[in-house]
Structure 1
Amino acid sequence: MLMNTTIPRIIGACFYYPPQTTLIAVLPELVALFPWPQPELLRQQTERLTEFDAETLMHDYSMLFEGVGMMPAPPWGSVYLDRENLLMGDSTLDYRQFLAQQGMATNTDNPEPEDQFGLMLMAFAYLLESDKPTAAQQLLSEHLLPWAERYLSLVQSSDTEHVFYPQLAEMTWLYLRTLQQQLNLPVEAKELYL
């Protein structure tokens, strides 16, 4: 139950792809798949998220993930981990090397750095499905958790038109923090520059 891959796949897709009604509709089902603290409160929050349709969320998605206007919460790890806040910084190259060691290569239609938050959650799920739990935990400890809390807090405080993405960010941090605690994962200490 703790290492169920449905949760990081669905959440990762929500943080990567444009809003999709089918993804939004399944969010309440994630409550039964994981040992959440306060599951009833989470069930209520996810039910509220299903009230949004994909079209109404497009502006918020564009602002948060495509850079329309000022991007309040860039979704790439290197922006937080690189002194100059660059895309494709050293942390991206380290992550790319990690993926290559696992026999993985990111192949998307977008020429996007691999350290995009949603893509990383989906890579975590893929490693679990490939029976590589040690590598999956390494992905969390070394590549995602060092910057995830900062990123998700910026999403939560973003001036979005709707509460969908801020609430999704809150749920995602709860998921990652619970995973970290339950698995007793060390988080590699890295300096954040954003």
Structure 2
Amino acid sequence: MLTNDRIETVEHPNLSHETQLRGLAKIRPLLEARIFAYDILRRSFLEEPSHEFLKLLSKDNLIGSFPFSEEEGEIQEGIRQVHSDLMQYESVGETIYNRLHWDYTRLFIGPYELQAPAWESAYLNKERLLFQEETLKVRLAYLKYAFLPKHFQHEADDHLGLELDFMYKLSVMVLEKYEKNEHELLDILENQKRFLQEHLLRWVPEFQQNVCQHSDTEFYRGMSRILHGFLRLDLEALAELLDIEGIGLKTN
């Protein structure tokens, strides 16, 4: 899987959350797939893509194995778009690399008017200001798990990349609790569901529309579609996980 410190590839087949939720014995593949998905998404939006990241995505069409793609047309379309730019990267690497960096800067950083702000408060705050009440609510969710974002106090907590990083960290915790048969995983799953409902899914739909309208690259148009499609399906997956009898209970 992808990590902050190093990148390591693991095969993740296309997973249907419906088929993966048939009994406790089949939960692990879904939990691993959620980690895989959030890891790709957080790295896609937290900062400009590195050569290392682009090479990983293009290697063996790794992006094509993104979870839930077989059952969600929006994810399928996003994969197709991302793949088209990755194919160019394999032939004209530096050119597409520079295009992606400029597109990321123009969309999410500046110096001109941002076409697709990557902060929750820019969509939920009437004045579209940063470091407002929305940011503080996100920070409280982070503090419950002692999650301290990179560049704390210099980058607003409600940046998309940080919110996705938080979901990634919690997904890793869920798998660890599941492997140890610890019932605390129920609280983590419930908090992930709540974070999707109260935060990410309240503003990502508009963010995705902005990216698709203003991006100059298929990569970011596609990634925004993958993001939107996956978050909607992950909410369904979390609801089904929480409904499984016996999950999080000691079995030995």
Give the TM-score normalised by the residue count of structure 1.
0.83
Q: Is the 8 A contact 1:65 1:74 kept in 2?
A: yes
Aligned length: 184
Q: Could you tell me how far 1:184 is from its partner in structure 2?
A: 4.1
Cα separation, partners in 2 of 1:109 and 1:25, compared to 1, 3 Å: farther
**Counterparts of 2:123 and 2:82, CA distance in 1:** 28
Runs (4 or more) in structure 1 with deviation over 4 Å come to 38-43
Q: Could you tell me how far 1:119 is from its partner in structure 2?
A: 1.4
The match for 1:152 is 208
The match for 1:21 is 51
Task: Show the 5 A alignment for 1:1-194.
Answer: 1-3=29-31, 4-27=34-57, 28-36=61-69, 37=71, 38=73, 44-50=80-86, 51-52=88-89, 53-108=96-151, 111-131=154-174, 132-158=188-214, 160-184=215-239
Task: State the Cα RMSD in Å.
Answer: 2.3
SS in 2 for 1:123: helix
Equivalent AA in structure 2 for residue 171 of structure 1: I
Equivalent AA in structure 1 for residue 162 of structure 2: L
Q: Is the 8 A contact 2:80 2:222 kept in 1?
A: no
**Counterparts of 1:183 and 1:33, CA distance in 2:** 17
Cα separation, partners in 2 of 1:127 and 1:175, compared to 1, 3 Å: same
Cα separation, partners in 2 of 1:181 and 1:29, compared to 1, 3 Å: same
Give the TM-score normalised by the residue count of structure 2.
0.65
SS in 2 for 1:11: helix
Cα separation, partners in 2 of 1:14 and 1:42, compared to 1, 3 Å: closer
The match for 2:178 is none
**Counterparts of 2:48 and 2:117, CA distance in 1:** 15
Contiguous gaps of at least 5 residues in structure 2: 1-28, 90-95, 175-187, 241-252
1:11-45 superposed Cα distances (whole Å, 9 cap, x missing partner): 11111111212222333424325122257666543
**Counterparts of 2:219 and 2:196, CA distance in 1:** 24
Contiguous gaps of at least 5 residues in structure 1: 186-194
Higher mean C-alpha displacement, 43-52 vs 76-85: 43-52
SS in 2 for 1:121: helix
**Counterparts of 2:114 and 2:79, CA distance in 1:** 30
Equivalent AA in structure 2 for residue 47 of structure 1: H
**Counterparts of 2:153 and 2:53, CA distance in 1:** 20
The match for 1:188 is none
Q: Is the 8 A contact 1:10 1:23 kept in 2?
A: no
Q: Is the 8 A contact 1:11 1:172 kept in 2?
A: yes
Q: Is the 8 A contact 1:16 1:65 kept in 2?
A: no
Cα separation, partners in 2 of 1:165 and 1:69, compared to 1, 3 Å: same
SS in 2 for 1:157: helix
Select the structure of larger CA radius of gyration: 2
